[in-house]
Structure 1
Amino acid sequence: MTLHDVPWPTEEEHKQGLVSWLNAMPGPVWLTLPGKDVNRHRVVVTLLHGNEQSGVEAFWHFVQNPPVCAVTVHFCIVNIEASLHGAPFTTRHLEHKPDMNRCFGKTGSDPSYALAAELLARINALKPEAVVDIHNTSGTSPAFAVSINDDEKHQQIASLFTERMLCTSVRLGALMEQTSDASPMVTVECGGVKDHNSVEVAKNGLHHFMSAEDLFFNHTGFWPVERLYHPVRVQLKPDLSLCYHDRFVEESDLTLPPDIDRHNFGWMAADSQIGWLGTKGLDAMTTNDGEGKYPISALFYEQDGELRLKHPAKLFMITTKHAIALSDCLFYMVVD
């Protein structure tokens, strides 16, 4: 597996449609759009997850009528194979493959790790002034950015797309964890994969990202950025059972409401019910905040089989996709 340099799509290819063009690609691809200053670079990465298409749809929007780019902009469209598996844009990653956005800065026998290293090496060689990695959440959600760095540059990149930025200590092998002072990297979650405005978030943000003469100098952002600190990743322990239902399901270790994603980014009061626990109780769940400060018992309690919040909290990246909830996480949360 390697990155393939391919030319900008032609008018005829554009007429055939995005899926047709993706089908014609030899694998993960890299495209370059020269700007007014050819010696400066910015990089857009998208489709690391094959079911999160807002970034590649925004790219396709700019194929025929790109903005005047202030600098040379590079697009890397990564997990095309997964995006075309079954119905287009329904597969996060192939079953026998690792999650591509868990491969950066890591080694492994699967070619995905070598591809992640190649992508990162290419970015480092270019020394881009900014990198954005475009994603969607699997549940309904407003847009937000994620960064491991809370400095002004990362905030300003985020502000092109959204008014929220999560500052995380969790390390999973995501691209944005490879950020540097010289080439700041930010993940942008444009909203849910089914949310009608997610593509608009990607298009509007990328237009600014591509056309702005200077992303940082005398730039106060298009949105005032609310920063949320120390997000906690909440997971079900391996090999346990999860069910989505509007009442307790007896054989399940955890039951969550089927519309739990309605709480994405809304503050929830202390004692709010999240779901129902099985016979293992709170021991069915685990947390990761990157610092070991928030064990599951510090965040939740059980009352008559109900899972309840100990403190006011904001939940996000809540998914109702059963497979993603088990393989990735149930949701993230920040505590007031």
Structure 2
Amino acid sequence: MDLHRLDHVPPELLTTPVEELDNVLPGPTLLHIPGRAEPPLFISTLLHGDEPTGFQSMQRLLTQYLGSPEGLPRSVWLFLGNVHAAKGNLRHLDQQPDFNRIWNGGDRPEHRLAARVVTMARENGLFACIDIHNTSGKNPPYSAINKLDPACVFLGKLFSDKLVYFTRPDTVLSKAFAEICPAVTVECGQAGDPKGLERVHGFVDQCLNLAAIVPTGYRTADESVYHSIGRIEFPDGCTVGFDHSGGQEDFVFVENLDSLNFQELPENTRIGWRHDAGKRLVVIDETGKEVGDEFFVYKGDEIRLKRAVVPSMLTTRPDAALDDCLGYLMQRYVLE
């Protein structure tokens, strides 16, 4: 798999629908777009082909700035990831790895492509890194950081008052770039939500116009900061459904499960049912240890919480749940 590099913006890129992007670009592409200030702002989008908001916001911003005499306020490196999956509105193609799980080494062509991008970023230096995503379930817009650095916190808070600190999975783009420059992942809600598009458009515009990243401090008791402590996965070969009425899959979850995202859930909250007593939900903590029995208890066929948690990224799409995860479990976090 080749990394395609461009030092200009093809005019058709600004008007092409995301599902037709592979008619313009041959594959993963890094565009070097000059601006008035250096070093460049690195912006990544379409790591998942079914998350178009980042690309659509960049079309608007580039149209706005490249059509003016002054051009971009700051140079941009724009990485457009899985353009082939975008054609089918898919997270990734069947034969591909997840493009946001390739940034910590590996022997596939996609891993080597990611390593090349990181090497170029390290050798050239960056102002900051923004990785733009949508969520498959209902979530408020929020930021996620992988390093408790004041500059990363500043960027996260610039996008949303809700900030999540996580270290796993450790194969995401933002974690690799956090070793090079201030880096943040922004989750813009579900694809097609105009509010998410407006929010990320305004955020990237702000970042382009920052002269410097100067953290202004933050409250240590900020109640909108969370620490991701567990990722909910499934045992191999199981089936998953949503809405208990009549569902007989191995695991069936309450209707509108994603409405629980970023809600304080008390101990003993019922989240679903299981129809195969031999299977249990898997929870992977930050050390990579399986800790499902610390979070879930099974009462008859009911699945209930064993402790109070705040979930995020809970999905109601079986394909997303089985391909990636059901969601994450968080707790409040006090910034030092």
TM-score greater than 0.5 by the shorter chain: yes
Q: Which residue of 2 aligns with 1:160?
A: 158
- Say which of 277, 284, 298 aligns to 2:274: 277
Q: Which residue of 1 aligns with 2:84?
A: 81
What are the superposed Cα offsets for residues 215-240 of structure 1, whole Å, 9 maximum, x if unpaired?
2255879xx88321143101111111
Q: Which residue of 2 aligns with 1:171?
A: 169
The code of the aligned residue for 2:24 comes to A
**Partner SS state of residue 100, structure 2:** helix
Q: Which residue of 1 aligns with 2:250?
A: 253
Q: Which residue of 2 aligns with 1:204?
A: 202
- Say which of 261, 265, 290 aligns to 1:264: 261
Instruction: Give how far 1:13 is off.
Output: 5.7
Q: Which residue of 2 aligns with 1:55?
A: 54
Q: Name the CA shift for 1:225/1:203 in 2 (closer, same or farther; >3 Å).
A: farther
1:112 matched to 2:113? The reply is: no
The code of the aligned residue for 1:312 comes to A
Instruction: Give how far 1:14 is off.
Output: 3.7
Q: Name the CA shift for 1:119/1:51 in 2 (closer, same or farther; >3 Å).
A: same
Q: Which residue of 2 aligns with 1:226?
A: 224
Task: Give, in whole Å, the separation in 2 of the partners of 1:44 and 1:173.
Answer: 17
Task: Give, in whole Å, the separation in 1 of the partners of 2:280 and 2:53.
Answer: 34
Task: Give, in whole Å, the separation in 2 of the partners of 1:21 and 1:254.
Answer: 37
What are the superposed Cα offsets for residues 118-161 of structure 1, whole Å, 9 maximum, x if unpaired?
22122212210211111111111111122221221111111221
Alignment check: 8 A CA contact 1:141 1:264 kept: yes
- Provide structure 1 residue ranges, at least 5 long, that are not aligned to the other structure: none
- Provide structure 2 residue ranges, at least 5 long, that are not aligned to the other structure: none
Alignment check: 8 A CA contact 1:143 1:162 kept: yes
Q: Which residue of 2 aligns with 1:126?
A: 124
Runs of at least 4 residues off by over 6 Å: none
Task: Give, in whole Å, the separation in 2 of the partners of 1:190 and 1:64.
Answer: 21
Q: Which residue of 1 aligns with 2:31?
A: 31
- Say which of 141, 144, 166 aligns to 2:142: 144
Residues paired across the two proteins, number: 325
The code of the aligned residue for 1:3 comes to L
Alignment check: 8 A CA contact 1:247 1:257 kept: no
1:295 matched to 2:291? The reply is: yes
Q: Report the TM-score, using the length of structure 1 for normalisation.
A: 0.88
Q: Name the CA shift for 1:72/1:225 in 2 (closer, same or farther; >3 Å).
A: farther
Q: Identity percentage over the alignment?
A: 25
The more displaced of 288-297 and 190-199 is 288-297
Q: Which residue of 2 aligns with 1:9?
A: 10
Task: Give, in whole Å, the separation in 2 of the partners of 1:244 and 1:262.
Answer: 13
Instruction: Give how far 1:265 is off.
Output: 1.1
For the aligned residue pairs, the C-alpha RMSD in angstroms reads 2.4
The code of the aligned residue for 1:121 comes to T
Q: Name the CA shift for 1:207/1:46 in 2 (closer, same or farther; >3 Å).
A: same
What are the superposed Cα offsets for residues 245-282 of structure 1, whole Å, 9 maximum, x if unpaired?
233634x221112411111111122211100012326x
Q: Which residue of 2 aligns with 1:65?
A: 64
Task: Give, in whole Å, the separation in 2 of the partners of 1:324 and 1:306.
Answer: 22
Instruction: Give how far 1:212 is off.
Output: 1.4
The code of the aligned residue for 2:77 comes to H
Q: Report the TM-score, using the length of structure 2 for normalisation.
A: 0.88
The code of the aligned residue for 1:200 comes to E
**Partner SS state of residue 66, structure 1:** helix
Task: Give, in whole Å, the separation in 1 of the partners of 2:13 and 2:235.
Answer: 46
Task: Give, in whole Å, the separation in 2 of the partners of 1:181 and 1:172.
Answer: 12
Q: Name the CA shift for 1:286/1:17 in 2 (closer, same or farther; >3 Å).
A: closer
Instruction: Give how far 1:5 is off.
Output: 2.3
Alignment check: 8 A CA contact 2:18 2:87 kept: no
The code of the aligned residue for 2:78 comes to F
